[in-house]
Amino acid sequence: MTEMRKVAFKSRGIDIVGDLYLPSKSSPDRKGAAIIVGHPGTGIKEQASGLYARLLAEAGFTTLAFDTAYQGESGGEPRDIEDPYQRVEDFKCAVTYLSALGEGVDAQRIGLAGICASGGYGIFAAQTDVRIKAVAGVALMCTGAMARAALKDESGNISPEALHASLAPMGQARIAEANGAEGMTISILDYGGAGEYYSTPLGYHPRCTNKQLARSFELLLNYDSFAFIKWLAPRPLLLIVGTEPMKAFDTIPFSKTAYENACDPKELFVVQGRKHIDFYHETSESLPKLVEFFGKALCD
C-alpha cells in the first residue's frame, strides 16, 4: 500500500497544501524518481491529479499532487483567480520542495505531469527550470490561447477595439473589489461538458468551487504556454490526447500545436474514442503510457 501524507510549502509567500504519495517497499524500484502532478483549471488535488498521483505511486514513483494558490486548501487572495504565472511558480516551488525532501527522492530524477491547464503550465515551467527532467501533458490546453480565441474575428485577428472593450471591465472590476464588492466569477460547469465530471460522483468535491474570477481574463490574455517550448529539449515531452472534441470547445489542437513546435525527443500519444474530460477519471490507457514514459525518462 502507498502512504499518503499531507504536506505544505511556500510559493511567493502563499501556503501551498499538497498530498505526498510514497510508494510501498514492494513497488518497482524507480531509483528515487518523483513526479509532480498538476490539476485542471478550477480543480483540486482530491480529483484528477490525486488519482494519477496515487496510481503513479503504486507504480513506484514518489508523487506530489497539490492545490494551486487561491484554490482548495491552499492560501492566497482573491480566491478563484487564475494567475498563470502563479500557477507556474507553484510548480517550480513544488520542485524545490521535493528536491529538499529526502525520503529517498533523487533531485536529479524529478518529472512533471499536468492535466488540462496544468499541462500548459507545466510545459511553461519546465522551459526555464531545468530541474524538471521530463514533462507530460494529459489533454493539455493553453489558458492564454483560449482567452485570445474568444476575441479573434473571422480572420483570426484581434482588433484594438475588441481588445479595449474586453479589458476595460477588468480594470473596473479591480476598482470595485478594492471598494469591497465581491468579485464576479464564471462557472467552469458552463463549458465543454465539464459537469459530466465535476457535478457527478466521478469528480464532485465540496472544496472545489468550479469557479474562476472573471477578471482572470486580463491575466491570461498575453500568456502563452508554448512560446518557448523548444527550450524543453533535450528533455523528453509526452502529450496524451483523445480523438473526440468537447461539446463547447476543442482542446485537441493544443496538443497538436505543442507537438509540432517542440523539438525531439517528443511523442504524441492518441487515445481513440476519448474526449478531454474522460482523462480526468479514465486511466486505462493514459496511466500505462505515463509509467512507461517516466520510467524511461527518469529511471534509465
pLDDT of residue 45: 98
DSSP assignment of 167-202 equals HHHHHHHHHHHHTTPPPPEEEGGGSTTTHHHHTSTT
pLDDT of residue 189: 87
pLDDT of residue 248: 67
DSSP class of residue 64 equals E
Residue of 249 and 56 predicted with greater confidence: 56
Confidence of residue 249 (pLDDT cuts 50, 70, 90): confident
DSSP assignment of 252-300 equals HHHHHHHHHHSPSSEEEEEEEEEEGGGGGT--TTHHHHHHHHHHHHHH-
pLDDT of residue 298: 98
List, for residues 170-196, the tens digit of each pLDDT value.
999 999 999 999 999 999 887 767 888
| Domain 3-299 falls under CATH 3.40.190.10 | no
Residue of 232 and 192 predicted with greater confidence: 232
Please give the Cα distance from 206 to 9 (Å, whole number): 23
Give yes or no for a contact between 190 and 199, defined as CB atoms under 8 angstroms apart: no
Q: Which helix (H) or strand (E) holds 9?
A: strand 3-11
Residue 273 reports pLDDT greater than 90: yes
Residue 23 reports pLDDT greater than 70: yes
Please give the Cα distance from 78 to 60 (Å, whole number): 37
Average pLDDT over every residue of 30-44: 97
pLDDT of residue 238: 98
Residue 19 reports pLDDT greater than 90: yes
Domain segments of the chain as ranges: 3-299
pLDDT of residue 270: 98
Average pLDDT over every residue of 111-133: 98
Closest CA to 147 of 63, 254, 242: 254
Confidence of residue 250 (pLDDT cuts 50, 70, 90): confident
Average pLDDT over every residue of 240-244: 96
pTM for the whole structure: 0.96
